[in-house]
A and B are shown apart, each in its own frame.
Chain A
Amino acid sequence: MNRILKSREMLLAIAIVVLIGGVATRFPDFASPLSLAQAFNDTSILIILALAQMSVILTRSIDLSTAANLCFTGMAVAMLNAAHPELPVAVIILVALLWGLALGAFNGLLVWKIGIPPIVVTLGTLTIYRGLTFVLSGGAWVNADKMSASFINFQRQSLVGIPVLSWIALLVIALSYIFLRYTKTGRDVYAVGVNPTAAVYTGIDVGRTKFIAFCISGLISGLAGYLWISRYVIASVEVANGYELNVIAACVIGGISIAGGVGSVAGAVMGALFLGLIGLALPVINVSPFWQLAISGAAILLAIVLNARSEKVAGRIILKKAQSA
């Protein structure tokens, strides 16, 4: 059975290699280390968001508000930076994290304490948070000339040849892995998704675990808010509009089961990478960017079909002769 689990991630890894290799046959530069590092950097934000969404999906919930969260926190820190350019980036990031956490906690509280289904809660907060962005900014944009140099450049600096943005992504990957594999709460997240009733009997507070998952999702979305704004140097109400579906798609492609309890950090990362690579490969092979959406859609469908095959529980094999067949 472990073999099957490994093979889901393995399939994805092979798909990524094939994708890169395929493009590289015509455009060898695509597979160069520099280009691949660039691809990782460009996909970093998606990877971070997919890891955030992953914990929520593992608990059999869903968070449709991540992009709206990102939009709001991004605007908040952009405005903060515009008003107080002297504040160090560390403070900016802290503020982003706190706002993200607050928004995520709001989702989590509604799910935990009131018991509203997560899809309904986040369907609501999706519009609330984005609307609040408008209220906060009065509809105005914040663009590059209002942002301080340190704000913009922080993630672009190179450390040992790798941009800080990529380092942040690697850090989030490492922390997610440690959390989900080595902490009790992380294992609780899996337990809640696999069997919520049994989780209660084992003493796990299901509601609280879901709350924590939403807090994590919010926290990381907040971080992503700062990263997005500083990367694209624009903060507006339209930022990341509809992006939450890309994030969920990345998780689905990565083998995170929408039914909860199944999925790995490696899978989420590779799912995000795969989606990101498609977007980067298209202009390289001269396919019009208008094809990107359809190809992503096809990739998602393919991933679902393949994942379903490996999750399928076979009918009972009772006949002895059928067992050895």
Chain B
Amino acid sequence: MAFVLPPFFCIIMNTPAATAEHKPILELAGISKSFPGVRALHGVNLSLYPGQVTALIGENGAGKSTLVKILTGIYQPDEGKILLHGQQVSFSSAQDAFHRGITAIHQETVLFDDLTVAENIWLGHAPKKAFGLIDWPAMNAKAREVLGRMHAGHIAPEMPLRGLSIANKHLVAVARAMSIDAQVVVMDEPTAALSSKEINELYELIGLLKSQGKAILFISHKFDEIYKIADRFTVFRDGELVGAGLINATPQNAIVKMMVGRAVDRIFPKRQASKGAAVLQVDDLSHPTEFEGLSFNLHAGEILGFYGLIGAGRTEAMKALFGLTRSSRGTITLDGKLLQMRSAEDAINAGIVYVPEERGNQGIAAGLPIFMNISLPSLSRTSKNGVLQLKEELALARAYTQRLDLRAASLSQDVATLSGGNQQKVVIAKWLAMKPKVIILDEPTKGIDIGSKAAVHEFMAQLVGEGMAVIMVSSEIPEILGMSDRVVVMREGLVTADFENKDLTAETLVRAAAGIAA
């Protein structure tokens, strides 16, 4: 079956013809959706087959989340058809789609922390007794049963959701899908915050769902994951379908080409390690509950990677380095001077800056213009005696947005209207304007499309080339291996290893991070 593609880019994929037993459960044909000023989707097709995992791949802004919202009944398509078991349907609401068997698990839990596990599973279709009143004992019992079927019996139905780990919350989300015997399960970046053990458990669960004949739509940026569990793939770019086919018939590079419209050979720039003098010395930095005994040196012109599983304490350590949390003991020395770290202001004044993990919540202030976001930490420099100087701020913003190649219509534009990659550029610009000595990047390319990833990495290489010292916290092994000069591995709040990145293998890293003996 050949998929028709935009005229300037055509690939004919090698897929078997659909046979009677492999009829898709859900088909989207010619779906289009527009919002004021934005054409999110244009004429896309998608088919989801029973017992198979279809990976949905695409850059940020390619239209994936809009598609998911149409699939789950939150949005109505402007054009096109949805076919469920071959019958044309239209979902009147999210609830309607849910009851027809289409469910979704999102990155951030879209569940209710202050309600119990059982209630989260059965919300909206709770078992009722006389007079339409909710039957709590029955609800708890049924929840226990569904969780048992998923081998998740360790989760107690009466517990509030709040106390559960993210992995367990995902399990509850899947249990919700099972509670109505959903036919289609959409998973949107489900492994984003999971440890590798939890990821494997999720794969097993996916296997279980497959064996029950469910169709799974799996959205992910991680190619290793996609190639491990997906059977088919579909690629979107700029709201259009640009390719689809079988995973085992398609090399990774081909898919990347479809995503980006060009070959991206290297997203890790080649560079000479030009290590300068030691800039930052951290000695026995400790926190009562989050990490202990953190000691390392950082040199100018060096990228120090921090690897570890989720919850290893890396972000917590960085926040202490940046003054956001108080350490209980230990010293931080910058350029030979011992630092008193009582607040972020102290860190910034000393020359240490932090690009946080959560861009939206911690990095930018949505609703305010780009140039104001950029000038915020620099206000004391751009202002005269506390009085704002708009000209200076705009000049500052202009300089740094040009340097980072920001894509925006104007500097007064609301920063929230930018894509993820461009928002990250604003955050980086904000800190570069402070001319720091040390820049800490926490998961700098998380949730960013591959084109912007390459741009950020290229830029990091430039920065160290100019003599800056960079700490990069990352959970992606290729990124750690591709970018770092040295790697520190943390596990459960302690440093377990400190490697030179010479002949370092993924295996070594994982062993150090998971605490597996060599």
Q: Do chains A and B touch in the complex (CB under 8 A)?
A: yes
Chain B residues with CB under 8 A of A7: none
Smallest CB–CB gap between B102 and chain A, Å?
12
Smallest CB–CB gap between A5 and chain B, Å?
8
Contact between A191 and B74, CB atoms less than 8 A apart = no
Contact between A315 and B290, CB atoms less than 8 A apart = yes
Query: Contacting B124 at CB < 8 Å: which of A5, A202, A261, A318?
Result: A202
Smallest CB–CB gap between B321 and chain A, Å?
16
Known: A1-B159, A202-B95. A322 touches B112 (CB 8 A): no
Chain A residues with CB under 8 A of B72: 201
A 1-45 to B, binary, CB cutoff 8 A, 1 in contact else 0: 110010000000000000000000000000000000000000000
Contact between A201 and B110, CB atoms less than 8 A apart = yes
Contact between B134 and A182, CB atoms less than 8 A apart = yes
A 175-197 to B, binary, CB cutoff 8 A, 1 in contact else 0: 00010011110010011001101
Chain A residues with CB under 8 A of B189: none
A 71-87 to B, binary, CB cutoff 8 A, 1 in contact else 0: 00000000000000000
Chain A residues with CB under 8 A of B369: none
How many A-B contacts if CB must be within 8 Å?
A: 99
Query: Contacting A202 at CB < 8 Å: which of B123, B132, B163, B290?
Result: B123
B 308-326 to A, binary, CB cutoff 8 A, 1 in contact else 0: 0001110010000000010
Chain A residues with CB under 8 A of B149: none
State how many residues of chain B have any CB contact under 8 Å with chain A: 41
State how many residues of chain A have any CB contact under 8 Å with chain B: 30
Known: A183-B134, A319-B493, A320-B492. A203 touches B111 (CB 8 A): no
Known: A201-B94, A203-B95. A195 touches B110 (CB 8 A): yes
What's the Cα separation between A322 and B313 when bound, in Å?
A: 13
What's the Cα separation between A320 and B109 when bound, in Å?
A: 26
Chain A residues with CB under 8 A of B289: 315-319, 322
Chain A residues with CB under 8 A of B158: 2
Chain B residues with CB under 8 A of A320: 492-493
What's the Cα separation between A181 and B162 when bound, in Å?
A: 19
Smallest CB–CB gap between B119 and chain A, Å?
7
What's the Cα separation between A148 and B136 when bound, in Å?
A: 47
Instruction: Across the interface, name the chain B residue whose C-beta is closest to A322.
Output: B289
What's the Cα separation between A316 and B492 when bound, in Å?
A: 11
Chain A residues with CB under 8 A of B500: none
What's the Cα separation between A102 and B375 when bound, in Å?
A: 50
Can you list 10 contacts pairing A with B, beta carbon distance less than 8 Å? A5-B160, A181-B134, A184-B134, A187-B119, A191-B115, A201-B104, A203-B94, A318-B290, A318-B313, A319-B292
Could you list which residues of chain A lie within 8 angstroms of chain B, going by C-beta atoms? 1-2, 5, 178, 181-184, 187, 190-191, 194-195, 197-204, 261-262, 315-320, 322
